[in-house]
Amino acid sequence: MNDIWTPIRLTLELAFITTFVLLSIGTPVAWWLARSRARWKEVAATIVALPLVLPPTVLGFYLLILLGPQGPGGWLAGLWGGRSLAFTFPGLVIGSTVYSLPFVVQPIRNGFEAFGNRPLEAAATLRAGPWDAFWSVAVPLARPGFLTGAVLGFAHTVGEFGVVLMIGGNIPGQTKVLSVAIYDYVESLQWTEASLLAGLMVAFAFAVILTVTVFEKRVARPGR
Amino acid sequence: MSAGAGESAIEFTLAGRLGDFALDVVFAAPMRGVTALFGPSGSGKTTILRCAAGLQRLSGRLQVGEDVWQDDAAGVFRPPHRRPIGYVFQEASLFPHLSVRDNLRFGAKRALPEHGVGALDFADIVKLLGIGHLLDRAPAALSGGERQRVAIGRALLSQPRLLLMDEPLASLDRLTKDEILPHLEAVHESLAIPILYVSHDIGEIERLADTLVLLENGRVAAAGELAVLQADLELPLARAPEAAVTLEGAVVGADETYALTTFAVAGGTLIVPGRQGGRGDRRRLRISASDVSFSRAAPEETTILNCLPVRIHSVSRHDRDAVQMNIVVGLGDDGGGARIVGRVTRKSQEALGLTAGRRVFAQIKSVALLASGAGGGPRHRAIAQSQQEKADEAQRA
């Protein structure tokens, strides 16, 4: 019974770190997709969006190859004496990031596109350089997109199962997250633990969606 | 006004294509007063303004006073945020996430130190534009006119050396326009910042512009002093149904009994209804071509107050079935004063033999008072003065 806390702690850790990585990678990608006039940007957008459609097992399979000893993940792990990134926590973060990227990029891109060119032009005529205008105008105006992206990325990471199972396996304390733990409890007929964790997930999902809805309404309301 | 600028100018040379629209312009605007870019939509006005701001790039050269902002031959292109401009868009384009106060401060905080000379003060600008009661509101809670006034204030507080205005009144209704125009006039009169003003509304041009650049299909059709271009029969202004000239006048007398004010203009005096300020005050007057008629002899016993000796300068070219013709005259016996345009029928023109060089009398049915003209009221003068003092101080330091 006491070890249900290990997967919960691990899941939260994974979700927070992944959300942070997702925002750091997703923001420049979303900015580029929103502002670039390159013709092939929709091709790039499609690649980012692929995890939306692919079965998690397909994604997990490719990630497993990439993270494994023969892939770039293995080479990377070699830098600190490891053999592979598969079946490790860093590997899990990488996998979750790829898997949840579209859920973060799309809302942020929409947020950047929603206000058009004008506010940035106005900022430029008021002596704000590109970097300054990005932080003082673009980010605050795209705030609803950031909020939605962050919450979706977090929640999606908490809830993933297929990819984790493919690349993380089931190592307690290292890669055994909530969703996998529930599966295990059911497999070994530990219904109490399974229903406890499952109930927690339901409550969590409910709280997330309610928070986002309420918050978005408040953000959308004009004035102060 | 600023001593360093001297008689320097804003010099444009721009050429390029945008889709199937070709722009090719060369013109210079003075470093003072309002220079209006005027022309039908699609003539390239806004493109020129955006190129001046650096928001858009066509090949060419742009020099403002001593500074070169773009020179393709030398590989110079200053990005918009490095140009000391203020830009007022057609829609106010305030930042919705900031209060009015923070919108106003956005540019003020980022003003380039080297352009802080003669700094426009926050309180002065807020007062000039009448937006003091709006400071804590969000832009979404403002009316269209209020929003545009805040946008003008925001541009001014970024301490521009050149103010660019892209049809700032075009998206507003008549009433709101009338609410803002006096503020624009106040800006024009009290601040020593040159303004490039884009418009397709001749009414705004008549009230605000000193210099006019007429654009047609991406080319400069004519450029020069407003009054000169208005009285040029070769240009579309004089041919338009609402053709008119504007004159600068100074109050020289008042008739208290009948509430009339006499203005001196170059080559004569004009009587305007109403009490229009004290002796010496300068105002801008407008005379519509259709309010001007001519007679060979000095008219007697007429209800028209303004009858002036004039000399015909030019007559619009004959079009065989033209009904009406325009006649440009110079005020005064020798015709050396201000030019006005009169509209007569071809029949009258031929019957009276109104040809270039003839001395006749112009009867002006009405003279309209447009703006308060250079000098302005005491409040505006005070701001201009404090601005000048600050500039002097900065120069001494």
**Domains: count for chain B:** 2
Mean predicted confidence (pLDDT) in B308-336:
88
Instruction: Answer whether residue B77 is part of any domain.
Output: yes
pLDDT band, residue B4 (cuts 50/70/90)? very low
Instruction: Give the DSSP letter of residue B121.
Output: P
Instruction: Answer whether residue B386 is part of any domain.
Output: no
Asked if residue B150 and residue B24 are part of one domain, the reply reads yes
Nearest-by-CA chain B residue for A118: B93
CB A11 within 8 A of CB A197: no
- Share the mean pLDDT of chain B: 87
User: For residue B324, what are the β-bridge partners?
Assistant: B345
DSSP string, B185-246: HHHHHH----EEEEES-HHHHHHH-SEEEEEETTEEEEEEEHHHHHT-TTSHHHHSTT-EEE
Asked if residue B221 and residue B284 are part of one domain, the reply reads no
Per-residue pLDDT of A160-208, as tens digits, reads 888 988 888 788 888 888 888 999 899 999 999 999 999 998 998 899 8
With a cut of 60, say whether residue A224 has pLDDT above it. no
The burial class, CB within 10 Å (0-12 / 13-18 / 19+), for A107 is buried
User: Any CB–CB contact under 8 A between B93 and chain A?
Assistant: yes
Proportion of chain B above pLDDT 70, given as a percent? 89
Contact B79 A124 (CB under 8 A): yes
Nearest-by-CA chain A residue for B141: A223
Instruction: Answer whether residue B154 is part of any domain.
Output: yes
With a cut of 80, say whether residue B116 has pLDDT above it. no
Instruction: Answer whether residue B385 is part of any domain.
Output: no
Given strand B359-364, what is the order of strands in its sheet? Answer: B292-295, B359-364, B306-315, B324-331, B339-345
CB B258 within 8 A of CB B303: no
Instruction: Answer whether residue B343 is part of any domain.
Output: yes
Asked if residue B153 and residue B257 are part of one domain, the reply reads no
Domains and CATH numbers, chain A: 2-220 (1.10.3720.10)
Compute the distance between CA of residue A210 and CA of residue B25 in angstroms, rounded to an integer. 58
pLDDT band, residue B396 (cuts 50/70/90)? low
Compute the distance between CA of residue A178 and CA of residue A180 in angstroms, rounded to an integer. 5
Contact B93 A118 (CB under 8 A): yes
Residue range(s) defining the domain that contains residue B187 = 3-230
With a cut of 60, say whether residue A2 has pLDDT above it. no
With a cut of 80, say whether residue B117 has pLDDT above it. no
Proportion of chain A above pLDDT 70, given as a percent? 96
pLDDT value of position A86: 86
Of B230, B264, B291, which closes a domain? B230
From chain A, pick out residues whose CB is under 8 angstroms from the CB of B107: 126-127
Asked if residue B249 and residue B190 are part of one domain, the reply reads no
Contact B158 A126 (CB under 8 A): yes
Proportion of chain B above pLDDT 90, given as a percent? 59
CB B19 within 8 A of CB B76: no
pLDDT value of position B394: 58
Per-residue pLDDT of B225-263, as tens digits, reads 999 999 999 888 988 888 999 999 999 999 999 999 999
Per-residue pLDDT of B329-387, as tens digits, reads 999 989 899 999 999 999 999 999 999 999 999 999 989 888 654 433 444 444 555 55
**Residue that wins the pLDDT comparison between B378 and B16:** B16
Q: Which helix (H) or strand (E) holds B150?
A: helix B144-157
From chain B, pick out residues whose CB is under 8 angstroms from the CB of A126: 81, 106-107, 110, 154-155, 158
Asked if residue B65 and residue B179 are part of one domain, the reply reads yes
A127, A140, A143 member nearest B110 (Cβ): A127
Per-residue pLDDT of B255-307, as tens digits, reads 999 999 999 999 999 999 988 888 888 889 999 999 999 999 988 888 999 99
Nearest-by-CA chain B residue for A140: B97
**In 3-state terms, chain A is what percent helix, strand and coil (to 5)?**
80, 0, 20
Inter-chain contacts counted by CB atoms under 8 A, chains A and B: 73
From chain A, pick out residues whose CB is under 8 angstroms from the CB of B112: 127
Name the pTM for this structure.
0.85
- Locate A131 and state its tokens: 């970097």
B55, B86, B154 member nearest A121 (Cβ): B55
User: Any CB–CB contact under 8 A between B158 and chain A?
Assistant: yes
Instruction: Answer whether residue B20 is part of any domain.
Output: yes
Contact A223 B91 (CB under 8 A): no
Q: What is the CATH number of the domain that holds B332?
A: 2.40.50.100
With a cut of 50, say whether residue A222 has pLDDT above it. no
Instruction: Answer whether residue B38 is part of any domain.
Output: yes
With a cut of 50, say whether residue A123 has pLDDT above it. yes
Per-residue pLDDT of B125-181, as tens digits, reads 998 899 999 999 999 999 999 999 999 999 999 999 999 999 999 888 888 888 888
pLDDT value of position B135: 96
pLDDT band, residue B222 (cuts 50/70/90)? very high
Asked if residue B284 and residue B214 are part of one domain, the reply reads no
pLDDT value of position B386: 56
User: Any CB–CB contact under 8 A between B381 and chain A?
Assistant: no
Asked if residue B96 and residue B8 are part of one domain, the reply reads yes
Q: What is the CATH number of the domain that holds B158?
A: 3.40.50.300
User: Any CB–CB contact under 8 A between B69 and chain A?
Assistant: no
Q: Which residues, other chains included, contact B114 with Cβ-Cβ below 8 Å and sequence gap of 6+?
A: none
DSSP helix/strand/coil, B139: helix
Q: HSE-up of B142 (CA within 13 Å, CB side)? A: 29
Asked if residue B261 and residue B350 are part of one domain, the reply reads yes
Asked if residue B218 and residue B295 are part of one domain, the reply reads no
